[in-house]
Structure 1
Amino acid sequence: MAEMLTIYNENEQPIGIKEREKVHLDGDWHETFHCWMFRKEGETIHLLLQQRADHKKDFPSLFDITAAGHVEAGEDVLLAGVREIDEEVGLTVVPGDLIPQGYYKEELKEGVLVDREICRIYLLPWTNDKTFTIGEEVKDIVSVPLEDMEGLMDLPRSVKGFSILNGEEKEVNRKNLVPHEKGYERYVFQAIRECVAKL
């Protein structure tokens, strides 16, 4: 059965329901859930990136948000988030675990794909006692220092991360990251720094 999404106008008012495939072809605004997980090691903040499975239709094998997905028509954002986190990385969380960071409207174009998202952003601190069990959509979970990720916004270089699952070293650069607007990245990175400062 096709995944149905609520579509919105420029003012974020709901204007109907449409199949996901058509939403991306027509460039309709729709809601997504984004959960960025992080950990602190000494004074260093590490961002956890999901590496998408090789068979994914969009952006196979690239690094992206720790857990994210579409909010289906009629679905509560937080419940959608809890579902996505469980499906993708196998963590059981409750809505109260997620730290809301507002939203960011992002527009991405890739081939015929026109992805206009109202990104509902949440943060989740991660500790070693939480064990990831990745689903079929995910290949790996990789930890990268936040400062290095910030550096990638402006410099064409590679940074090193390591797999949370097996300790293997991974190289991260702009070419193997799912593309996001720099404004979105700055919004998220600043939110993480402010969140850590309050913990």
Structure 2
Amino acid sequence: MDELIDILNADGVPLGKTTMKSEAHKKGLFHATVHIWFYTEDGKLLIQKRASNKDTHPSLWDISVAGHIGAGESILDSAIREVQEEIGLTITGKELKKIGVFKSIQKHSDQLIDCEFHHTFLSKLKIPLEKLIKQKSEIDDLKLISIIQFEKELNDKELSKQYVPHSIEYYTKILNEIRRLL
């Protein structure tokens, strides 16, 4: 879905300009996204399998919830909205722990360049997996995976191909922060 988003400079500072997400991706303009990683008390992560019709990383396993921040929308409101839209879960800002902002540049093709700042949050999943309602246009599947298994798969050359290729520093930061909360 195309949407109006705010444009940032290469340091993540808003430029006071907006454009459609498709145009930002076409021109490689920096913009902001939210990433929300859900974890359970027993050391598991909620991951989503991206829909097979996605233009980037179709059918790969990824972050629990992620999305673009709409033009003029606050980071926190965007995170809360994306969680509701993608997995049908209503949360409050108090349930989100921000752990950082990660700059990411991925050139998928000449017509699709992702230049993003990922505002990244952690949140404890307090309901069973079966109670989540996945947004069919975004998600093919949801599952819980132990942090230990997830780490093993990320470090395996073949198994890691089933995941969106975020930097190892990004994944390490996420896992270390979750371990601190457990």
TM-score for the superposition, normalised by structure 2: 0.89
Alignment-derived partner of residue 9 in structure 2: 9
Matched, 1:84 2:82: yes
TM superposition shift of 1:138: 1.3
Provide the C-alpha distance between the structure 2 equivalents of 1:4 and 1:128, rounded to a whole number of angstroms. Answer: 33
Greater displacement, 93-102 / 65-74 = 93-102
Residue-by-residue CA offset, 1:99-145 (whole Å, 9 max, x unaligned): 11121112222223221111111111113457201112212111111
Change (3 A) 1:126 1:25: same
Structure 1 counterpart of 2:162, one-letter code: N
Structure 1 counterpart of 2:176, one-letter code: Q
How do 1:1-199 residues align onto structure 2 when only pairs under 5 Å count?
2-15=2-15, 16-41=17-42, 45-112=43-110, 113-129=112-128, 131-136=131-136, 137-157=138-158, 173-196=159-182
Give the superposed CA RMSD: 1.8
* Secondary structure class of the residue paired with 1:101: strand
Greater displacement, 77-86 / 1-10 = 1-10
Structure 2 counterpart of 1:190, one-letter code: N
Q: Is the 8 A contact 1:35 1:65 kept in 2?
A: yes
Structure 2 counterpart of 1:56, one-letter code: K
* Secondary structure class of the residue paired with 1:34: strand
Q: Is the 8 A contact 1:108 1:180 kept in 2?
A: no
Q: Is the 8 A contact 1:106 1:184 kept in 2?
A: no
Alignment gaps of 5+ in structure 2: none
Structure 2 counterpart of 1:117, one-letter code: E
Alignment gaps of 5+ in structure 1: 158-172
Provide the C-alpha distance between the structure 2 equivalents of 1:143 and 1:28, rounded to a whole number of angstroms. Answer: 34
Provide the C-alpha distance between the structure 1 equivalents of 2:46 and 2:2, rounded to a whole number of angstroms. Answer: 30
TM-score for the superposition, normalised by structure 1: 0.82
Count of aligned pairs between the two proteins: 178
* Secondary structure class of the residue paired with 1:91: coil
* Secondary structure class of the residue paired with 1:22: helix
Provide the C-alpha distance between the structure 2 equivalents of 1:188 and 1:108, rounded to a whole number of angstroms. Answer: 19
Identity of aligned residues (%): 30
The structure whose RCO (Cα within 8 Å, separation 6+) is larger is 2
